[in-house]
Amino acid sequence: MSNSDPTRPMPAKGPKAGTPRPERPAPVGSRPPAGSDERTRPMAQESTDPYRDDGGSMGGRKAKRRSPFRGPLIALTVILLTAGAAVGGAWIWLQGAVGPVTLREICTGEFENGDKHTLEIDQADNAAIITAIAEKRDFPVRAATIGVATAIQESKLRNITYGDRDSVGLFQQRPSQGWGTREEILDPIYATNEFYDALAKIGDLDELTITEAAQKVQRSAFPEAYADHEPEARLIVSPLAGHSPGGWNCVLKEDDLAAQQPGENGLTERALGVRAAAKEELGRSKSEVDQAGTGLTFSVPAEKNDRHAWALASWAVARADALGVKQVSLAGHRWVRADSGKGWTETAGDLSDRQVQITVY
């Protein structure tokens, strides 16, 4: 008889007696048993799916989704920074200087309300001549405004050597029309006097618009264009004529001109040039010379205000580059070429309201 009972269940097959029981796998994230080698633990696999919340394993980090606005925001930031730098650079360029550093040589006429107009150095030089000759001839300031507006329209205030047919110079005057020889017309002082000679014949300027007055002299095919330049002409002429005290400034680089020795008349060549120009253009001839021969102190007519002094001082600043002017002083104010970015600065001195001191290199 068999020892097995068919009615008894057969025992499950398992390890034989004495066989070591296999270790149960440790839960993920639990510490290994003491004495075990941690290096043999398999590393948890990190999920590569960016949209899984569990990071692919219980110990993984949650992946962040990139905002769809991130790219446009970065681009907008770059654009704003670039635009800001461009605006700042343009503002500095228009000013002509940053502190003591001159970036661009310019001259500016400005009203007390902040309105201003900027010229290049050669344009300012010609504007100063046109304004000064009107002063010398005792013309009203309106005549200078008409002259400057006309020159802006005809030549952009530049003494150009070309034009329509045989027209040349600041006012585009024609030798064939009796204005003088080509060489004479290309002299800004001669051309300006010729313009004022013709302007003086047309009657009361206060009763004429700028277009009417300029057209009677120029006989242009585009007469209405002169009036377009009246606002800028006023911004130029008013400070140059002394009606806007301190409103004219030129930002110039420091000059490296060599020093000159005074001649028998006690003046250096540059100082002599300033005295001659002041007499020819402004009619100012009364001056005293300093010991070095480089400084001239002019006396101007007395008036209720110091307009004549400011007119002479502004003329000297506008003509500084051409005449080698280093410094201009009048009562309580000074302009220094080496520091011209600051414009006119207040200073103590012994000059009266009727005196202007011009110093050359």
What's the confidence (pLDDT) of residue 74?
76
Q: Looking at domain 269-360, which CATH architecture does it have?
A: 2-Layer Sandwich (3.30)
What's the confidence (pLDDT) of residue 56?
45
Show the tokens assigned to 85. Answer: 């730098």
Whole-structure pTM value: 0.74
For residue 199, the tally of other CB atoms under 10 A from its CB is 22
State yes or no: pLDDT of 79 exceeds 90: no
Q: The tokens 């009048």 sit on which residue?
A: 330
Q: pLDDT above 90 covers what percent of the chain? A: 66
Q: What is the 3-state secondary structure (H, E, C) of the chain?
A: CCCCCCCCCCCCCCCCCCCCCCCCCCCCCCCCCCCCCHHHCCCCCCCCCCCCCCCCCCCCCCCCCCCCCHHHHHHHHHHHHHHHHHHHHHHHHHHCEECCEECCCEEEEECCCCCEEEEEHHHHHHHHHHHHHHHHCCCCHHHHHHHHHHHHHHHCCCCCCCCCCCCECCCCECHHHCCCCHHHHCCHHHHHHHHHHHHCCCCCHHHCCHHHHHHHHHCCCCHHHHHHHHHHHHHHHHHHCCCCCCCEEEECCCCCCCCCCCCCCCCCHHHHHHHHHHHHHHCCCCEEECCCCCEEEEECCCCCCCHHHHHHHHHHHHCHHHHCEEEEEECCEEEEHHHHHHCCEECCCCCCCCEEEEEEC
For 234-290, what is each residue's pLDDT tens digit?
A: 999 999 999 999 999 999 999 999 999 999 999 999 999 999 999 999 999 999 999
Question: Cβ distance 229 to 311 under 8 Å?
Answer: no
Cα–Cα distance measured from residue 203 to residue 88, given in angstroms and rounded to the nearest whole number: 49
What's the confidence (pLDDT) of residue 9?
47
Least confident of 13-22, 106-115, 268-277: 13-22
Q: The tokens 């201009």 sit on which residue?
A: 328
Show the tokens assigned to 230. Answer: 């009246």
What's the confidence (pLDDT) of residue 77?
73
For 136-166, what is each residue's pLDDT tens digit?
A: 999 999 999 999 999 999 999 999 999 999 9
State yes or no: pLDDT of 49 exceeds 60: no
Alpha carbon separation from 339 to 11, 60, 217, 335 (Å, rounded): 111, 67, 41, 8
Mean pLDDT computed over 119-146: 97
Mean pLDDT computed over 317-331: 98
Q: Could you state, in order of their start, the residue ranges of all structural domains in the chain?
A: 116-241, 269-360
Mean pLDDT computed over 60-83: 66
What mean pLDDT is reported for the chain? 84
State yes or no: pLDDT of 7 exceeds 80: no
What's the confidence (pLDDT) of residue 32?
52
For 182-224, what is each residue's pLDDT tens digit?
A: 999 999 999 999 999 999 999 889 899 999 999 999 998 888 8
Q: pLDDT grade, residue 6 (50/70/90)? A: very low
Show the tokens assigned to 293. Answer: 């021969």
